[in-house]
Structure 1
Amino acid sequence: MSYIEFFAPPFPTLIKGGYAIFEKGNKHFRRVFNVFDLIYVKEGELFLTEDEQAYSIRKGQYIMLVPGFEHYGHKGCKVKTEYIWFHFLIPTEYDLTESGLENWADMKVTEGDYVKPSLYRFCLPTYGEIENQVYIENLFEGLMDIDEQTPDFHLRQQLLFQEFLLHLQKEACNIPTAAEKVVEQTIAYIQSAYKEEMKMDDLAKAIHFHPDYITRCMQKIIGMTPNLYLNKHRMNVAKKLLATTESKISYISQEVGIVDTTYFSKLFKRLEGLSPLEYRKVIHRRRGRE
């Protein structure tokens, strides 16, 4: 297995990311990039060749394509395939090695002092499977759903991308934390039951942890309470319905588990900065310019 070895800080810099779909029979085009291209398959299977090495990237797997190497789809997708991609660069020197980090403690290379920061060594697999897929997909969703209208949009993207790289290094060293496991269970439960009325006691009984502990884990790992995550997930579903259907606001409110349409509209505006109708108009205007 190949690894990308680099030292931080400075951390790799995210350039741009997005979501794409290949229909059955489609394949990736041939090209050579001068930046890294990270591809994570959310559904289906992607067939890619890089530097004459063929890969099959299935659901929950990723590949990091290296600058200067030609890559292309050597075979069409067998099924409809959804994937998330990110282009990024490493601002310092990096190496491709055949061995990674075995011990988490080996990550720190030098201890910082009053004028210099600590230096850390990363060795990330160029190809592999994400263990905590729910957590990572939630991180990606948050990374791409940050409101582009806010001045700190790109800065917040960088922080979330760094969080992803750190998590990837943790998985490579096989050190999932207890808190991350709790967060994974919490997110999975919320995403499966968001259409229902949900209280902390319901969540606690479902995953068998105390409500206060669940809240602490969520705040530590993803920086939000279970209730805030529930509301954000509901709004993300609502945004997709607003963008892809002409359904009434009252219907969408019911679909995301909020009975009171007025409360839904107020919550949507508080979290998204626009009312549901304003959001729909903005999306329609953008599509009209495309």
Structure 2
Amino acid sequence: MEAYLEVGDLWEAVEDVYKVEPLPDNPTVAQIKNHKERKQRKSKAKANLLTAVSSTIVARIMALKTANQIWDFFKQEYEGNEKVKGMQVLNFIREFEMQRMKELETIKEYSDRLLGIVNNVRLLGTEFLDARIVQKILVIIPEKFEAIIASLENSRNLSSITLAELLNALQAQEQRRLMRQEGSVEGVFQARSQNYKGGKNNKKKQSNNKNGQSSKTRVFSPCPYCKNNNHPHNKCWWRPDIKCHKCGQLGHVERICKT
């Protein structure tokens, strides 16, 4: 809000308590213009503050006459005194120390959660160094990142590594692990697909053999009954012990019965 008011050249009307003096007798054009601008600036600043808050808050500040009084109300109501700010800082720091990285959480999600808390501390006017965030991540990080931490320890001094460098290294390691996992899963699916197709082909071959369709590919010893080699002798239609269900005679099956 302060930056917004500065862009509109209205921050002076909020920060400084000045009184717009009445115009002298026979004012010049410059005096009239300056008087009008200073008066309008105070009104515009107050209007901007009123439109920036909800209707509930507007009802509480309508009785205040100047933009400076409204700004003081905001600071007292929402920023608090030094004692309140100190308690808020302690609560945020306690929350920061309690944060742990979840098993399915990514580095970006975890770092964003930490930085959100740290930014609240900094907004309250307390210094919070990036080095403290780096230490937190190095201590709390899961075991799956131990390899990259060991690599960083061997290649450089961890006490001087920046937060951006650490996060980039961890995210790169995380991406490589995800790519390997996707490759292994894809390989498993391919293997399962091949096994499935192979199983279907084997079943089909077995079914063909059971249905007597293997005669096109298999060769048997000559049958003693019909002299052909495209079937085993116990499957021959001309066996002397087989009985026809059409004519009731022995020596052939009904498919080749002459009747």
TMscore range, shorter length: under 0.3
Larger radius of gyration: 2
Tell me: higher relative CO, structure 1 or 2? Use CA pairs within 8 A at least 6 residues apart: 1
Determine which structure has the larger strand proportion and give its number.
1
